[in-house]
Structure 1
Amino acid sequence: MVKSQQSPDYFMENDNSLTAEALIYAYTSGVFPMAEADGTIYWYRPDPRAVIPIDTYKPAKSLKPVINRGQFEIRIDTQFEAVIRACASPRAYEKETWISEEIIQAYVELHHMGFAHSVESYLGGELVGGLYGVHFASAFFGESMFMKVSNASKVAFHHLMEILQSNGFTLLDTQFMNDNVERYGAVEIKRSNYEKLLSASLQKACEFKLPTK
């Protein structure tokens, strides 16, 4: 869920009114925002679109021992803002971030409304990895992830998939194809097919909660 370095066609330029309400309308219409280095926000509607099939997901063999050891404690929605700010921090392979302060504030507002969630990995009580995304009905839109400790984000993603599978989600949108999401099983579909999947997903209500063990 790290954004692609390519420059896909953008849908429209920001009108300087990025709000939670604008995000709700955008996501339910198949559109999402990204910020440029100068803070300018563009709304994207790519074709093709990358999605990760939920029902067929299985963790990589190399990750199973890490999961089985229970090395990380997993929580949801306890430090949403800390997660999105960690995702916005510069990385060794990405000098720029598409997550601006304006985006952070809008998504934090969306989180307070119950439409954005974080899955968090803890080690020794410290937040060391995680991801965040947007949730409407039975659709989850993966935004970004981070890690401070090896495998922390991979385990968070595994638990995201468990959440989506156990609660009957029907769509996991990862927006653009890149090496990171392809590693998790992402495939590209035509925008017209994506929009049909999105429309169907918005007809079914789902809760975002950890499965009961």
Structure 2
Amino acid sequence: MISLHKLDASLAFPTPSEALTDPNGLLAFGGDLSVPRLVNSYRQGIFPWFSEGEPILWWSPDPRGVLFTGKYKSSKSLLKHIRKTTPKVTVDTSFNEVIDACSSIPRKDNGTWITAEMVDAYKRLYQAGYAHSIEVWDKERLIGGLYGVFVNNVFCGESMFSRQDNASKVAFHCLVELLKKNGVRLIDCQMQNPHLATLGCEEIPRKTFLDLLASEQEHLPLQFWTPQVLLA
């Protein structure tokens, strides 16, 4: 019988190597979504993922889906779309609107993994300076965006949304360009999927990912997350 770690009031996590193989990466349950616990989890390559009515579940899958910013593949059609439509793209100007939009995207089972508890937690992470968003606008209307967590000089992508064709792709493209400009080498995509693979996402062993995460932690934090306009 396999037993799963239950978190207590401390911020300690079991080591990711103790995660289950089925389901892939399930490491622990319980605890809370406080800012200190979330920051501690991301710094160890662990993230929360659960549905409404479930306990908080913590994951560290093996292999890990990552995108090295230097290997990002931007399509010619997307670059043409950006030149043609000239969208306005901003950073950290409407985080709450972005995560609210992401949380409203229905799944095939008519649910959403971004619960109200998660929304509140990541809004607190944003206020604490760890969570960030990219916003895409059509005039004054928010048409797409993404959000994630930035720790150890690694951007951990969480979710994105589109209200117009290509809007989330524009957000991701601008994210990569912002990260590359500021020397960030790695985006944690958590799990690879066919769409991310077309952008350059690849799977690497969990240990390799954790080693990269630790090596990036040795660098000084990069201070470029300020509300700003990337494209206009």
AA at the equivalent of 1:11: L
Q: 1:162 touches 1:211 (CA, 8 Å); kept in 2?
A: no
**Equivalent position of 2:122 in the other structure:** 107
Larger CA Rg, structure 1 vs 2:
2
Match of 2:149 among 110, 120, 134: 134
Q: 1:163 touches 1:211 (CA, 8 Å); kept in 2?
A: no
* Residue 167 of structure 1, CA deviation: 0.4
The 3-state SS of whatever aligns with 2:41 is helix
The size of the alignment, in residue pairs, is: 207
**Equivalent position of 2:101 in the other structure:** 86
Mark the CA change 1:186 to 1:82 in structure 2 (over 3 Å): closer, same or farther: same
Mapped partners of 1:149, 1:37: distance in 2: 28
**Equivalent position of 2:9 in the other structure:** none
Mapped partners of 1:121, 1:94: distance in 2: 28
The 3-state SS of whatever aligns with 1:52 is strand
Q: 1:46 touches 1:176 (CA, 8 Å); kept in 2?
A: yes
**Equivalent position of 2:58 in the other structure:** 43
Which stretch of structure 1 is more off in the superposition, 179-188 or 108-117? Answer: 179-188
What are structure 1's unaligned runs of at least 5 residues? 1-5
**Structure 1 residues 1-213: aligned runs within 5 Å:** 7-15=23-31, 17-91=32-106, 93=108, 95-204=110-219, 205-209=221-225
TM-score by length of 2: 0.83
Q: 2:48 touches 2:59 (CA, 8 Å); kept in 1?
A: yes
What are structure 2's unaligned runs of at least 5 residues? 1-21
Mark the CA change 1:212 to 1:104 in structure 2 (over 3 Å): closer, same or farther: closer
Mapped partners of 1:122, 1:212: distance in 2: 11
AA at the equivalent of 2:117: E
* Residue 39 of structure 1, CA deviation: 4.1
* Residue 207 of structure 1, CA deviation: 2.8
* Residue 58 of structure 1, CA deviation: 3.4
Mapped partners of 1:131, 1:145: distance in 2: 4
Mapped partners of 1:58, 1:211: distance in 2: 23
